[in-house]
């Protein structure tokens, strides 16, 4: 395929935007080459600026679960836009989407809307600290909760149990309050809790990890985490920015039947517009301003266009819960097909899948945490990525990303993708 115009547009963009992109995951640093510029998209397909059609397995990193330019969502936005795009005053649609979200997600009474997943997680942690009166938090290595300071932390050296900044600009003072645990390792969590008795406000986790490839929780892990949190007066935050309204109507809380204390949302909840949200029971949510002491605000929060898109999206998912079954079936079909052709071509691999989240790791060890995810062969991934791109299949330009399956994919698209992988596998 030819990417002449994309390359030219990227060169222009680089002059005025750092790295030519407004979010680093869009750059091709992990795979080499220049990012593809999108002109438009419909259903399961992207159309780039050079006129290539690509089958899309990123789907805006999750939101387009029903496909691009999904008509009910687009129409809701158009109709709303005609009536004014922002007021900084309450609107009825905010209550409508809140009522719907509260009815779909277990164990929440109230929800506050923000503009991104980052904001949702950042605000949830502040709320947890305010509610418990404690400062420290536990996060898991390899889980992503947005780019706010408390989360940009890597494992400390030597015997230190607290983290160190993994980006310049994050202060040591901030880093010392974030403790880093190993995903799927409950003994590790217990040890951190024991070493920091009565200091931990919350544990934040992706209930299915999706930012180091897809990593399911091992059997009993989330249950054990719930038990440890309850016993130590620690709030359990499920970051469902990726899993919420994707794995089930009620997200991972419903799928695994575990009650989180605070749930964070983003991606699907905005139907492709900038929306995040965090939600909890009344006793916790009533701690928020203006009725409680924990401050949190946003000029564009609950924006009418964003709420219209989100409401249209959630309404579709609520009215047609068979979508979740259909998504899981399509993803399972893809899983079986990919495993078959990779095995036939003697390509070492591990595939992880939960519902409509799936990832391929080019290593044969079980992938259960950040260290095992990092073992994947990146040279093979690069060749795999570019091979698929040439065949018209777009996956994330990084070995650490989950594929987000959209219900707009047909079984012909899936067969085309499996055939493309078979062809590429012969070259690896």
- List residues with catalytic annotation: 144, 239, 267
State yes or no: residue 118 binds ligand PLP (CB under 6 A). yes
Q: How far is the CB of 6 from ligand PLP (least distance, A)?
A: 23
Pairing of strands 357-361, 136-140: unpaired
Phi, psi of 249, deg, nearest 5: -50, -45
d(CA 382, CA 424) in angstroms, rounded, equals 11
Q: Which is nearer to ligand PLP, 179 or 252 (CB)?
A: 252
Q: How far is the CB of 303 from ligand PLP (least distance, A)?
A: 14
Which residue is closest to ligand PLP by CB? 117
Q: How far is the CB of 291 from ligand PLP (least distance, A)?
A: 26
Q: How far is the CB of 148 from ligand PLP (least distance, A)?
A: 9
d(CA 215, CA 207) in angstroms, rounded, equals 9
State how far the alpha carbon of 58 is from the alpha carbons of 26, 254, 363, 387, 407, in Å: 11, 24, 22, 16, 12
Q: Is 346 exposed, middle or buried (0-12, 13-18, 19+ CB in 10 A)?
A: exposed
Q: Report the alpha-carbon angle 276-311-98, nearest 5.
A: 65
Residue with tokens 């496909």: 67
Q: Which is nearer to ligand PLP, 144 or 324 (CB)?
A: 144
State yes or no: residue 117 binds ligand PLP (CB under 6 A). yes
Positions in 194-223 near ligand PLP (CB under 6 A): 206, 210-211
State yes or no: residue 116 binds ligand PLP (CB under 6 A). yes
Q: Please identify which residue in 242, 312, 313, 425 interacts with ligand PLP, judged by CB under 6 A.
A: 242
Q: Which is nearer to ligand PLP, 278 or 384 (CB)?
A: 278
State how far the alpha carbon of 184 is from the alpha carbons of 38, 50, 217, 349, 372, in Å: 37, 44, 6, 21, 12
The pair of structure tokens assigned to 309 is 């898109």
What sign for the dihedral angle of Cα 4, 5, 8, 9?
A: negative
**Which string of x and - marks every residue 129-148 that binds ligand PLP (by CB under 6 A)?**
---------------xxx--
Q: Tell me the number of residues near ligand PLP by CB under 6 A.
A: 15
Q: How far is the CB of 23 from ligand PLP (least distance, A)?
A: 7
The pair of structure tokens assigned to 385 is 């990525």
State yes or no: residue 266 binds ligand PLP (CB under 6 A). yes
Pairing of strands 45-48, 153-154: unpaired
State yes or no: residue 272 binds ligand PLP (CB under 6 A). no
Q: How far is the CB of 211 from ligand PLP (least distance, A)?
A: 6
Q: Choose one: 29-37, 82-90, 112-120, 193-201; the region binding ligand PLP (CB under 6 A).
A: 112-120
Query: Which residues make up the interface to ligand PLP (CB under 6 A)?
Result: 116-118, 121, 144-146, 206, 210-211, 239, 241-242, 266, 276
């Amino acid at each position: 395929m030819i990417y002449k115009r994309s390359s030219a547009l990227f060169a222009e963009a680089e002059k005025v935007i750092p790295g030519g992109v407004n979010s680093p995951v869009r750059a091709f640093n992990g795979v080499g080459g220049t990012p593809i510029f999108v002109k438009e998209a419909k259903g399961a397909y992207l159309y780039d600026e050079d006129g290539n059609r690509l089958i899309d397995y990123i789907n805006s990193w999750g939101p387009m679960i029903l496909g691009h330019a999904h008509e009910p969502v687009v129409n809701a936005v158009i109709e709303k836009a005609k009536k004014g795009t922002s007021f900084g005053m309450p609107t009825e649609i905010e209550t409508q989407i809140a009522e719907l979200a509260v009815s779909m997600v277990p164990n929440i009474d109230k929800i506050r809307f923000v503009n991104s997943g980052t904001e949702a997680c950042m605000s949830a942690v502040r709320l947890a600290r305010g509610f418990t009166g404690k400062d420290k938090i536990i996060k898991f290595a390899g889980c992503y909760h947005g780019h706010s300071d408390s989360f940009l932390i890597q494992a400390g050296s030597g015997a230190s149990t607290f983290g160190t900044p993994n980006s310049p600009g994050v202060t040591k003072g901030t880093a010392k309050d974030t403790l880093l645990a190993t995903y799927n390792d409950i003994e590790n969590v217990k040890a951190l809790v024991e070493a920091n008795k009565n200091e931990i406000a919350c544990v934040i986790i992706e209930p299915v990890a999706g930012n180091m490839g897809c990593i399911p929780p091992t059997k009993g892990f989330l249950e054990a985490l719930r038990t440890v949190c309850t016993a130590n007066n620690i709030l359990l935050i499920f970051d469902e920015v990726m899993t919420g309204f994707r794995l089930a109507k009620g997200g991972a809380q419903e799928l695994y039947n575990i009650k989180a204390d605070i749930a964070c949302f983003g991606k699907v909840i905005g139907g492709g517009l900038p929306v995040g949200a965090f939600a909890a029971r009344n006793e916790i949510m009533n701690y928020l301003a203006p009725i409680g002491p924990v401050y949190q605000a946003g000029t564009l929060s609950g924006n009418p266009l964003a709420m219209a898109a989100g409401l249209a999206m959630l309404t579709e998912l609520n009215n047609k819960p068979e979508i979740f079954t259909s998504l899981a079936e399509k993803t399972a079909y893809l899983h079986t097909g990919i495993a078959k052709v990779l095995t036939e071509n003697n390509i070492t691999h591990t595939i992880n899948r939960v519902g409509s989240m799936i990832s391929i790791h080019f290593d044969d060890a079980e992938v259960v945490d950040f260290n095992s995810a990092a073992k994947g062969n990146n040279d093979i991934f690069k060749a795999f990525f570019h091979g698929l791109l040439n065949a018209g299949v777009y996956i994330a330009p990084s070995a650490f990303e989950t594929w987000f399956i959209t219900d707009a994919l047909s079984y012909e698209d899936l067969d085309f993708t499996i055939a493309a992988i078979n062809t590429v596998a012969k070259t690896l």
